[in-house]
Protein backbone atom coordinates (compact mmCIF):
# COMPACT_ATOMS: atom_id res chain seq x y z
CA UNK A 1 0.00 0.00 0.00
CA UNK A 2 1.36 3.42 -0.99
CA UNK A 3 0.98 6.18 1.57
CA UNK A 4 1.29 9.92 0.97
CA UNK A 5 0.98 12.63 3.60
CA UNK A 6 0.42 16.07 2.17
CA UNK A 7 -0.83 19.51 3.09
CA UNK A 8 -4.60 19.83 2.80
CA UNK A 9 -6.17 22.06 0.18
CA UNK A 10 -9.63 23.57 0.00
CA UNK A 11 -10.54 20.69 -2.32
CA UNK A 12 -10.27 18.37 0.72
CA UNK A 13 -13.16 20.11 2.49
CA UNK A 14 -15.75 17.56 1.39
CA UNK A 15 -13.59 14.66 2.59
CA UNK A 16 -13.01 16.34 5.97
CA UNK A 17 -16.72 17.15 6.25
CA UNK A 18 -17.75 13.57 5.51
CA UNK A 19 -15.23 11.94 7.87
CA UNK A 20 -15.97 14.31 10.73
CA UNK A 21 -19.69 13.93 10.12
CA UNK A 22 -19.39 10.19 10.59
CA UNK A 23 -17.86 10.70 14.04
CA UNK A 24 -20.45 13.35 14.95
CA UNK A 25 -23.28 10.94 14.15
CA UNK A 26 -21.83 7.57 15.17
CA UNK A 27 -19.34 8.00 17.98
CA UNK A 28 -18.29 9.81 21.11
CA UNK A 29 -14.90 10.77 19.66
CA UNK A 30 -16.14 14.34 19.29
CA UNK A 31 -18.52 16.28 21.50
CA UNK A 32 -19.96 17.97 18.42
CA UNK A 33 -23.57 17.04 17.74
CA UNK A 34 -23.86 18.84 14.39
CA UNK A 35 -21.50 18.75 11.44
CA UNK A 36 -20.74 22.15 9.86
CA UNK A 37 -21.26 22.55 6.11
CA UNK A 38 -18.52 21.96 3.54
CA UNK A 39 -17.87 25.69 3.12
CA UNK A 40 -17.09 25.91 6.85
CA UNK A 41 -14.42 23.26 6.36
CA UNK A 42 -12.95 25.12 3.38
CA UNK A 43 -12.60 28.15 5.63
CA UNK A 44 -11.19 26.04 8.48
CA UNK A 45 -8.52 24.60 6.18
CA UNK A 46 -7.61 28.09 4.88
CA UNK A 47 -7.52 29.60 8.36
CA UNK A 48 -5.60 26.71 9.94
CA UNK A 49 -2.88 26.69 7.27
CA UNK A 50 -1.94 30.26 8.12
CA UNK A 51 -0.40 29.10 11.41
CA UNK A 52 -0.64 25.33 11.79
CA UNK A 53 -0.34 22.22 9.61
CA UNK A 54 -3.52 20.67 8.23
CA UNK A 55 -2.47 17.35 6.73
CA UNK A 56 -4.17 14.67 4.65
CA UNK A 57 -3.09 11.03 4.53
CA UNK A 58 -3.72 9.17 1.29
CA UNK A 59 -3.55 5.40 0.89
CA UNK A 60 -3.18 4.23 -2.71
CA UNK A 61 -4.24 7.69 -3.93
CA UNK A 62 -7.42 8.00 -1.84
CA UNK A 63 -7.67 10.20 1.26
CA UNK A 64 -8.01 8.13 4.43
CA UNK A 65 -7.37 10.57 7.27
CA UNK A 66 -6.62 14.10 8.35
CA UNK A 67 -4.79 15.82 11.20
CA UNK A 68 -4.30 19.45 12.12
CA UNK A 69 -3.12 21.77 14.84
CA UNK A 70 -5.12 24.54 16.47
CA UNK A 71 -4.74 27.28 19.02
CA UNK A 72 -5.40 25.87 22.47
CA UNK A 73 -6.32 29.13 24.22
CA UNK A 74 -6.64 32.71 22.94
CA UNK A 75 -4.06 34.29 25.28
CA UNK A 76 -0.60 35.26 23.96
CA UNK A 77 1.35 33.22 26.52
CA UNK A 78 -0.19 30.04 25.05
CA UNK A 79 1.21 30.64 21.55
CA UNK A 80 3.71 27.76 21.91
CA UNK A 81 0.93 25.27 22.74
CA UNK A 82 -1.14 23.39 20.18
CA UNK A 83 -4.22 21.19 20.32
CA UNK A 84 -3.85 18.35 17.83
CA UNK A 85 -6.74 16.65 16.07
CA UNK A 86 -6.63 13.40 14.11
CA UNK A 87 -9.42 11.44 12.39
CA UNK A 88 -9.26 8.45 10.09
CA UNK A 89 -12.04 7.72 7.63
CA UNK A 90 -14.35 5.00 8.94
CA UNK A 91 -13.40 2.79 5.99
CA UNK A 92 -9.64 3.44 6.29
CA UNK A 93 -7.56 0.28 6.61
CA UNK A 94 -7.01 -0.41 10.32
CA UNK A 95 -3.65 -1.31 11.81
CA UNK A 96 -1.97 -0.07 8.62
CA UNK A 97 -0.03 2.67 10.42
CA UNK A 98 -1.86 5.56 8.76
CA UNK A 99 -2.85 7.23 12.03
CA UNK A 100 0.67 6.98 13.46
CA UNK A 101 2.31 8.22 10.27
CA UNK A 102 -0.12 11.12 9.98
CA UNK A 103 0.32 12.10 13.63
CA UNK A 104 4.12 11.81 13.38
CA UNK A 105 4.13 14.14 10.35
CA UNK A 106 1.98 16.64 12.25
CA UNK A 107 4.18 16.50 15.36
CA UNK A 108 7.37 16.81 13.31
CA UNK A 109 6.10 19.90 11.53
CA UNK A 110 4.90 21.50 14.77
CA UNK A 111 8.27 20.85 16.42
CA UNK A 112 10.17 22.32 13.47
CA UNK A 113 7.91 25.37 13.57
CA UNK A 114 8.98 25.98 17.17
CA UNK A 115 5.88 24.91 19.08
CA UNK A 116 6.74 23.48 22.49
CA UNK A 117 3.78 21.43 23.68
CA UNK A 118 1.03 19.49 21.92
CA UNK A 119 -2.18 18.40 23.61
CA UNK A 120 -4.64 15.72 22.61
CA UNK A 121 -8.14 16.11 24.04
CA UNK A 122 -9.74 12.67 24.04
CA UNK A 123 -13.04 11.28 25.23
CA UNK A 124 -12.13 9.03 28.17
CA UNK A 125 -13.89 5.99 26.64
CA UNK A 126 -11.91 6.26 23.37
CA UNK A 127 -9.28 3.64 24.18
CA UNK A 128 -7.88 3.38 20.61
CA UNK A 129 -7.08 7.11 20.59
CA UNK A 130 -5.65 7.00 24.12
CA UNK A 131 -3.45 4.04 23.07
CA UNK A 132 -2.24 5.92 19.97
CA UNK A 133 -1.33 8.96 22.07
CA UNK A 134 0.56 6.81 24.58
CA UNK A 135 2.41 5.08 21.72
CA UNK A 136 3.37 8.49 20.32
CA UNK A 137 4.93 9.48 23.66
CA UNK A 138 2.09 11.52 25.15
CA UNK A 139 1.36 11.32 28.87
CA UNK A 140 -1.86 12.08 30.70
CA UNK A 141 -2.03 15.68 31.88
CA UNK A 142 -5.56 15.67 33.27
CA UNK A 143 -8.85 13.81 33.46
CA UNK A 144 -12.08 15.78 33.53
CA UNK A 145 -15.05 13.60 34.34
CA UNK A 146 -18.59 14.24 33.10
CA UNK A 147 -17.55 17.07 30.78
CA UNK A 148 -20.18 16.53 28.10
CA UNK A 149 -23.48 14.79 27.51
CA UNK A 150 -23.87 13.02 24.19
CA UNK A 151 -25.86 10.06 22.94
CA UNK A 152 -27.62 9.60 26.27
CA UNK A 153 -24.66 9.59 28.65
CA UNK A 154 -22.11 11.74 30.42
CA UNK A 155 -18.60 11.55 29.01
CA UNK A 156 -15.26 12.54 30.43
CA UNK A 157 -12.22 13.97 28.70
CA UNK A 158 -8.57 13.08 29.11
CA UNK A 159 -5.95 15.62 28.12
CA UNK A 160 -2.73 14.06 26.87
CA UNK A 161 0.46 16.12 26.60
CA UNK A 162 3.66 15.81 24.58
CA UNK A 163 6.58 18.20 24.96
CA UNK A 164 8.26 18.95 21.63
CA UNK A 165 10.99 21.33 22.59
CA UNK A 166 13.29 22.55 25.26
CA UNK A 167 12.01 24.95 27.86
CA UNK A 168 15.21 26.76 28.79
CA UNK A 169 15.30 30.49 28.20
CA UNK A 170 12.90 32.69 26.29
CA UNK A 171 11.56 30.96 23.16
CA UNK A 172 11.39 32.39 19.67
CA UNK A 173 7.87 32.81 18.34
CA UNK A 174 6.69 29.76 16.38
CA UNK A 175 7.05 30.06 12.62
CA UNK A 176 3.63 30.23 10.93
CA UNK A 177 2.97 27.15 8.78
CA UNK A 178 2.49 29.24 5.62
CA UNK A 179 6.07 30.55 6.09
CA UNK A 180 7.62 27.31 7.37
CA UNK A 181 6.33 25.18 4.51
CA UNK A 182 8.08 27.43 1.96
CA UNK A 183 11.38 26.25 3.45
CA UNK A 184 10.54 22.56 3.00
CA UNK A 185 11.65 20.49 0.00
Q: What are phi and psi of 183, to 5 degrees?
A: -90, -5
Q: Do 84 and 118 form a contact (C-beta atoms < 8 A)?
A: yes
Q: pLDDT (tens digit, 9 = 90+) per residue, 108-167?
A: 999 999 999 999 999 999 999 999 999 999 999 999 999 999 999 999 999 999 999 899
pLDDT tier, 172 (very low <50, low <70, confident <90, very high otherwise): very high
Q: SS in 3 state form for 84-144?
A: EEEEECCCCCCCCCHHHHHHHHHHHHHHHHCCCEEEEEEECCCHHHHHHHHHCCCEEEEEE
| Range(s) of the domain holding residue 32 | 3-183
Q: pLDDT (tens digit, 9 = 90+) per residue, 26-43?
A: 999 999 999 999 999 999
| Secondary structure element (H or E) that encloses residue 56, with its range | strand 54-59
pLDDT at 3: 94
Instruction: Report how many domains make up the chain.
Output: 1
CATH of residue 136's domain is 3.40.630.30
pLDDT at 163: 97
Output the CA–CA distances (angstroms, integers) from residue 144 to 84, 125, 154, in the order listed: 18, 12, 11
Q: pLDDT (tens digit, 9 = 90+) per residue, 56-103?
A: 999 999 999 999 999 999 999 999 999 999 999 999 988 899 999 999
Does the pLDDT of residue 1 top 80, yes or no?
Answer: no
Helix (H, G, I), strand (E, B) or coil at 168: coil
Q: How many residues does the chain have?
A: 185
pLDDT at 107: 98
Does the pLDDT of residue 9 top 90, yes or no?
Answer: yes
The DSSP 8-state label assigned to residue 182 in this structure reads: G
As a whole-number percent, the residues of the chain with pLDDT over 70 amount to: 100
Does the pLDDT of residue 48 top 90, yes or no?
Answer: yes
pLDDT at 93: 85
| pTM, two decimal places | 0.95
Nearest to 16 by CA among 40, 41, 37: 41
Walk across the sheet containing 153-163 and list its strands. 3-7, 54-59, 62-71, 81-88, 117-123, 153-163, 139-150
Amino acid sequence: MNRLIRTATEADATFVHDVYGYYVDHSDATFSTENPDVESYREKIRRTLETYPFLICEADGAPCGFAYGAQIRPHEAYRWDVEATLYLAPDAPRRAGHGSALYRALLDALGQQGFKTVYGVITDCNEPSLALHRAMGFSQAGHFRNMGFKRGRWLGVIWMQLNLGDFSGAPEDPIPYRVWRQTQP
